[in-house]
Structure 1
Amino acid sequence: MKLTQSYWIRLIGIIILALLRFGLFGSVNFAMEGAITWQWIIDNTLIPAVIIWETSRLVVVYFHRWYALKPSTKRFTLEVLAVLGGNAVLFTGTMLLHESPKELLAVNPFFLFYGYMYTFLYGVLVAAFYELLFYMEAWKIATQEAEELKKINLLIQLESLKNQVKPHFLFNSLNTLTALVEKDQAQAVKFIAELAQVYRYLLQSNEKGLIALDQELQFTQAYYFLLRTRFGEGISLKVEVTDSVHDCLIPPLTLQILLENAMKHNQVSVRKPLVVSIQNEAEEWLVVSNNLQLKRVAASSTGMGLANIAAKYKILHQPDIIILHEENNFTVKVPLLKPAAVLTS
């Protein structure tokens, strides 16, 4: 249970508040009346303590529900005014239980002001206490999310290493390079340059949480060049992304994971070419789709690729990725993040 909803905290707080009120007024009442009854304790300490505590708690909870958790002058001002008004009603109601309106008007104004101010002070202290609880919970959540983000980054790095740096990827690349050296040395030189760019990006991107779409697309083109050199007409990539979204951000290796995922589960051959397209929907979504021609023997899958992408967006408090598994196409839509929005979040 959240601290702000804990019944134990509320119970202990109300008891402490009641004891404070009893300590302040008990001796005065004993001197005036010569005795302290249980009815007096209930009417003047317990019931007001419950009302002060619950009223102030509900004020803070209400305004946290309608305003952002970040510090807000407007929210703090409204909370103080609400506590002020709530305690004014409470103090007036308490006085009317013991005095008639006519008698209340005859009471020394200084006494009324003093009584109201200490009631208001209790309310402010309770509200401040719950503000502290809210920020403790926010700090706890932020700490947990930071740890989760670290774990996800490690998973992404491990997944990247398993998918890209694994021996057979390098082995296939070297085999392709060997064939090129014998047939087309100029193409072999370009292949080496693109291969170096791919590995350079893999190493650098592991240190970043987000990367510009333009950089991700450049890496994807380099990665596609390696695939195209190896599979020839068996694979094609169509990129139709408008310039207006090139500065948007996405988690690094998102496109590589989606491209690798398409190759892993589908046939790639000249007779049945795999066609992957990348385009944007307005400035909100990046859409990656491929034709479905599933392998006869299904490739083993841990499902970590798409899960890593989805988890990264969740940690960033962004919309969920959309996965569409249609009859002839497989499509994944990932949110495009505005740099300004990320900096202010």
Structure 2
Amino acid sequence: MKLTHSYQIRIIGILVVALLRFGLFGSATLEMEGRITLQGLIDNILIASVIIWETSRAVVLFFHRRYALQLSVKRYILETFGVLSANGILYGVIMLLHESPQEILAVKPIFLLYGFLYTFLFGVLVAAFYELLFYMDAWKKATQEAEELKKINLMAQLESLKNQVKPHFLFNSLNTLTALVEKDSVQAVKFIAELAQVYRYLLQSSEKELIGLDQELQFTQAYFFLLRTRFGEGITLKMQVAENLMNCLIPPLTLQILLENAMKHNQVSVRKPLDVIIQSEQDWLVISNNLQPKRGTVLSNGMGLTNITAKYKILNQPEVIILKEPNCFTVKVPLIKAQAA
């Protein structure tokens, strides 16, 4: 159960407010009337404390639900005004329950103002206490999510590294490099540079939860260069991403995993080229490829797409959209604004 819904905290909090009110109300009553009645204790301390606590708590919960993702000055001003209004109404009701309108009008305004501020002060303390509980809940949740995301990142990184350092991958890369050295030494040097960039990115991104979209796209271009060098016109890549989205964030290796997924399940040849398109649609990145399934059974553990969808879930982002049509396979991933990360 969340701390904000704990009955134990509410009971203890009400008793604390009652004790504080007794310290102020009791001394003032003794000074003015010379005694404290049991009815006065129940009405002005215990019942009033319950009403103040529950009213202020209800105001905080309302604004938390209404502005759950907005930790702004506006929200806190509205919340303070809400507590002020609720406790002002509360103070008026308490006065009417114990005094007639004529008796209330006979009281000096300064005393009425003191009573109102006195009630409002406790309301603000209760509201501040619940805001602290919300912060503690959010901090605990964020800590747990960070730990889970680290585990998922590690799994994705290990899976990616495992795929990259497979003997056949290294063998194919070395074969490609050998052929380039014999035919085109300039291209061979570029191939080595791009290969180094791919591995550098894999190592650097392993400790990050999110990375800039521009960096992910640069890495994807380097990785695609290796694929293009090997498969030639058997694979194509088109990027159409809006410039204003380059500052957005994305879980690292997302695009590489999707490229690997496309190659794993589809034929790649000059006669049947695999066409991959990466484009932006509003706040989404859309990765699609034509479907030309490989013959026979393709062994797959489904870890790639599972890791991507799990990461976005942990980050409280919209769900990843996966669409499989007769001639096209599409994955849509939400882009994360830098300030919301």
TM-score bucket of the superposed structures, by smaller chain: 0.7 to 0.9
What is the match of residue 277 of structure 1?
A: 277
Task: Report the Cα offset of residue 324 of structure 1.
Answer: 0.6
Q: Is this contact kept in 1: 2:26–2:36, CA < 8 A?
A: no
Please say if 1:325 is aligned against 2:324.
yes
Q: 1:208-219, aligned counterparts within 5 Å?
A: 208-219=208-219
Residues of 1 paired with 2:47 and 2:272: CA distance? 79
Q: Secondary structure at the match of 1:206?
A: helix
Taking structure 1 as the reference length, what is the TM-score of the superposition?
0.83
Task: Compare 138-147 and 51-60 and name the one that shifted more.
Answer: 138-147
TM-score of the superposed pair, with normalisation by structure 2: 0.84
**Structure 1: gaps spanning 5 or more residues:** none
Answer yes or no: is 1:191 the counterpart of 2:191: yes
Q: What is the Cα deviation at residue 53 of structure 1?
A: 0.6
- Residues 29 and 35 of structure 1 are in contact (CA less than 8 Å); yes or no, is this contact kept in structure 2? yes
CA distances 1:94-153 after superposition (whole Å, capped 9, x unpaired):
222232211222234444343333222222221121121122222222222332332233
Distance 1:278 1:69 in 2: 30
Q: State which drifts further: 67-76 or 172-181.
A: 67-76
Select 2:338's aligned residue among 339, 342, 345.
342
SS in 1 for 2:105: helix
Find the counterpart in structure 1 of residue 243 from structure 2. Answer: 244
Does structure 2 conserve the Cα–Cα contact (< 8 Å) formed by 1:87 and 1:123?
A: yes
Aligned ranges 1:1-345 → 2 under 5 Å:
1-22=1-22, 24-25=24-25, 28=29, 36-37=37-38, 39-67=39-67, 71-181=71-181, 187-233=187-233, 235-242=234-241, 244=243, 247-249=246-248, 250-281=250-281, 283-337=282-336, 341-343=337-339, 345=341
SS in 1 for 2:285: strand
Deviations 1:296-342 (A, max 9, x none): 443332322223323334444443322111122111122344xxx40
Give the conservation status (yes or no) of the 8 Å contact 1:265–1:298: no
Note closer, same or farther for the CA distance 1:241–1:77 as it changes in structure 2 (3 Å cut): closer
The answer to whether the Cα contact below 8 Å between 2:228 and 2:236 also exists between their aligned partners in 1 is no
Of 157-166 and 51-60, the range deviating more from structure 2: 157-166
One-letter code aligned to 2:139? W
Q: Aligned partners of 2:119 and 2:187: how far apart in 1?
A: 83
Number of residue pairs the alignment of both structures matches: 339
* 1:22 Cα offset (Å): 4.3
1:79–1:212 Cα change, 3 Å: closer
**Aligned-residue offset at 1:50:** 1.5
- Kept in 1, the 8 Å contact 2:277–2:288? The answer is yes
Instruction: Give how far 1:55 is off.
Output: 0.9
Residue 59 of structure 1 aligns with an amino acid whose one-letter code is V
User: Per the alignment, do residues 131 and 194 of structure 1 end up closer, same or farther by CA in structure 2, a change over 3 Å counting?
Assistant: closer
Partners of 2:232 and 2:57 in 1: how far apart? 67
Question: Residues 323 and 111 of structure 1: is their aligned pair in 2 closer, same or farther, counting only changes over 3 Å?
Answer: same
CA distance in structure 1 between the aligned counterparts of 2:43 and 2:34, rounded to whole angstroms? 15
SS in 2 for 1:140: helix
Q: Aligned partners of 1:90 and 1:253: how far apart in 2? A: 56
Q: Is the 8 A contact 1:30 1:36 kept in 2?
A: no
Amino acid in structure 2 at the alignment position of 1:150: K
SS of residue in 1 equivalent to 2:252: coil
AA matched with 1:284: D
Please tell me the residue identity of whatever aligns with 1:260: E
Compared CA separation, residues 78 and 264, structure 1 to 2 (3 A): same
